[in-house]
Structure 1
């Protein structure tokens, strides 16, 4: 695995790329004063509320709250992971991405060969669906399933002919290609020597990654043979626990997906697309993993899991729920659609049609409802013992959840159902999070006027060069009030990288709680004339220093009433009092 990308490189990269150019190639922008505008690509709107600031190298939507740097835009719009977004920006200006060891990552030189061979094999299978003497069986099968030629082309469906060496012959004794095909699991070595085709007499479904590159295949039989589905094995470019069949096609069909439906097999995905339901994906022979879920939630906020209504479907749904709980951050939603007995998505959509199927998806069971109904089936809710057992069953599951509003609401539901006091239940499930002890005086900031911490941070986001007008440390760093640590860290970063834009600053807090607060400030206009920013900034810093000094005076006086101060503490108190008196005069 390559090392981490140095933050210094990310800072320099964001200084060199132009966010306006990055976004304009994907979403046409119009000049509006010093900034640019467009209708937001992340939600439906008729009046533009999506603003791009070239000065701040930052985008912000006043409608849905989407925001970020050029990196963040590529992650959201192109659905890239963070390293991929960095690599995309680096490619756009012709530089290589270094890693923490100081070198560019060494990419396996065979990796491009793997992708190239997979593309050739993809074309081979598709050509066989048109040209092979026995392809008529495959075409008739697809027609019987109601698939059109257009849908087959959209998903790149193909045909692996019967026999043991169709693909082997296609590679034509090219030993390099054969070796690559073995590494990719397309050819298999015989114990007695020689090679044979893994996929034989099957409908072939190319599996594509986020960029649309073929990374593997799934094959489905046309009769009752076993196994019904066969997937490519793990390979240098294919990892089942991370990839989802149909995700590339779903994103291509709509840039503004609202929800994704997770179904069991390839044919379900393709059949739903045939009926205009282009938001279905399938796992590749595995249960839904946390990696799958992170990928899904990077694309949409709502995921609907579709399962058979039998006992096996219920068990699979519960496994999906257990994997979903640790990634259920605020704003994410999971639901469960249980199909009637004997139905799969393919057969059901044929029976009831697109609109009725969509209605079932929208009205599916919320995660919280399935969670409690499933657990309550295992206990006697009419007895104290049963309700106590419910808490014990729910506790380890709730403990896997991140500390969010959703978790709090789940805990409240558990309190209602068990009849426990919510505060006592909080202690039982998560332990006491509050310790009672006598505390010295706390620092505080008056409620009159702007908060100096917020003002200083806001001004630095507007004009990062202001950081150079103060020395580090400023003297307020140990003031224990909200935002001080953030302001102190921000000043340190800007002293090291004075040319950072607001967008570049946000990348230092990616994925952290502070990112949201910084983005809100960066997207808020300052009600100050440009020539007054410096004076306002220096005034905010001075107010913080004075507040810190007042706090230290109160704290030392408090301590002196409890025990004798040390000589150093006495000297500090004397100096602080003198400074305060001088300032008052």
Structure 2
């Protein structure tokens, strides 16, 4: 839904940036507060939070946000989602931009409310049925207590034990049913709808979040039963991917909202579990290579899953190995130095690992192990890896460049040759090129604002701040556009952003 400007303005006026910070993370400095900046490796607080200006600004990143921008960035929300989130906090009525959007919003709201009521009723019904069903015998046989069954709202329907699937707020949005006989499929999930999307749901996060934040560690398993059984043994930083593969989006959201620094993948020891682990590593290795996550693998004993080992799981967890060690051992596990084919196969596997590793300790470890096992070190060039901080810094510089291009005609010649790498900024630049081709140079900012209103909602929200920045940012740019230009170009011309600058290598 596109929001009415009155709603956006009310949220900007009433939502206080200071409310978005925990007091323990703030240091009083005169009339303002200081905190560590989340956008760069901040060893001392360089993020200034001004209650008077209702604005947070990092003097190192030259990046500032109001309450909407902060919630949007920290919670991974779209602009509209952040506005509605804050509107709820401050009891501000949400209005749609026009009658069509208002009608659509009301229809969606009613549909979601109806589905939440339906799921709540279903859970109550299923939970009541569990106590007089064969499902209870099954759960008790798997060593769940009655207290745990009740705590997790596990129920029964037909021939299936029903596990409620909850959103991060703890609201039931769907179910996974496990059959008790040999019927197929063994597990069956609810159909996707307005409140449940299988590909986005992480099972158990609503209960695990607090422990994850306290330990900075999360254990990811394959199944709901693993999570529940481990929770019963007070291992409560465990989640599961619910009937889908682990995705980068899931982890990005998890990192953003829980500050987790170590991920332990704990999948079953069978062939299916090994394949699931490999898929997950492919999704997560970028985070590990950038130094954002300590990615570890816990290999379960054959035929056992985490639930089977719940009572000794904390001890098993200590045996989790680095993802690089796991990949290396998998690559060379069938090595036979008397068999040329086996040697070649192992060497190819080791080369694939070295191809993705930059210079550093992990790469040196693989090289040492390769020399021990293969009696030689494959000749592979180190990979070049950007940290997430560098990626974010370059993306932010590209945003500054586009915003300045729209706001200040005098700076446009200096910005015209930039090659944008952020997909959203690429789309913004395409729109600008089309508008300039239509002779809209003098009215470019207004024309851009009109065009993006017709785009898909999330993209429109993302690009709207380029032509309509918050007042404090607009004042800074208008007061000294040359300084804004120099700040953006200094980053774009740096080595980590050289791909954005066609003149860098000339």
TM range (shorter): 0.5 to 0.7
Which residue number in structure 2 is paired with residue 267 of structure 1?
225
TM alignment of 1:431-470, pairs within 5 A: none
TM alignment of 1:35-74, pairs within 5 A: 35-36=32-33, 52-54=49-51, 55=53, 57-58=55-56, 69-71=66-68, 73-74=70-71
CA deviations 1:457-511 (Å, max 9, x no partner) are 9xxx9xxxxx9xx975269937999xxxx9xx9xx99996575346x999x9xxx
Distance in 2 (CA, whole Å) between partners of 1:302 and 1:253 is 13
Which residue number in structure 2 is paired with residue 94 of structure 1?
93
Is the 1:80–1:210 Cα contact (8 Å) retained in structure 2? no
Which residue number in structure 1 is paired with residue 449 of structure 2?
none
Is the 1:412–1:422 Cα contact (8 Å) retained in structure 2? no
Distance in 1 (CA, whole Å) between partners of 2:412 and 2:486 is 11
Is the 1:391–1:414 Cα contact (8 Å) retained in structure 2? no
Q: CA deviation at 1:327?
A: 5.6
Aligned counterpart in structure 2 of residue 19 of structure 1, from 17, 20, 27? 17
Q: CA deviation at 1:270?
A: 0.8
TM alignment of 1:286-305, pairs within 5 A: 286-298=244-256, 299=258, 300-305=260-265
Q: CA deviation at 1:304?
A: 1.3
Distance in 2 (CA, whole Å) between partners of 1:215 and 1:543 is 49
Distance in 2 (CA, whole Å) between partners of 1:333 and 1:10 is 39
Q: CA deviation at 1:364?
A: 0.7
Aligned counterpart in structure 1 of residue 151 of structure 2, from 154, 178, 195? 154
Is the 1:411–1:422 Cα contact (8 Å) retained in structure 2? no
Cα 1:19/1:379, change in 2 over 3 Å: same
Q: CA deviation at 1:19?
A: 1.3
Cα 1:305/1:230, change in 2 over 3 Å: same
Is the 1:307–1:314 Cα contact (8 Å) retained in structure 2? yes
Aligned counterpart in structure 2 of residue 316 of structure 1, from 276, 279, 284? 276
SS in 1 for 2:298: strand
Which residue number in structure 2 is paired with residue 341 of structure 1?
302
Which residue number in structure 1 is paired with residue 31 of structure 2?
34
Answering whether residue 326 of structure 2 is matched by residue 370 of structure 1, we say yes
Cα 1:284/1:58, change in 2 over 3 Å: same
CA deviations 1:148-190 (Å, max 9, x no partner) are 44433332222x2xxxxxxxxxxxxxxxxxxxxxxxxxxxxxx
TM alignment of 1:331-480, pairs within 5 A: 331-350=292-311, 352=312, 357-377=313-333, 393=349, 417=370, 419-421=377-379, 423=381, 473=410, 477=414
SS in 2 for 1:282: strand
Is the 1:15–1:500 Cα contact (8 Å) retained in structure 2? no
Is the 1:308–1:343 Cα contact (8 Å) retained in structure 2? yes
CA deviations 1:521-573 (Å, max 9, x no partner) are xxxxxxxxxxxxx8xx79979999xxxxxxxxxxxxxxxxxxxxxxxxxxxxx
Q: Whose Rg is larger? A: 1
Which residue number in structure 1 is paired with residue 389 of structure 2?
none
CA deviations 1:211-246 (Å, max 9, x no partner) are 322111122345666654332233443222221211
Tell me the TM-score normalized by structure 1: 0.54
RMSD: 5.5
Q: CA deviation at 1:127?
A: 2.7
Which residue number in structure 2 is paired with residue 129 of structure 1?
130
Cα 1:251/1:200, change in 2 over 3 Å: same
Which residue number in structure 2 is paired with residue 451 of structure 1?
none
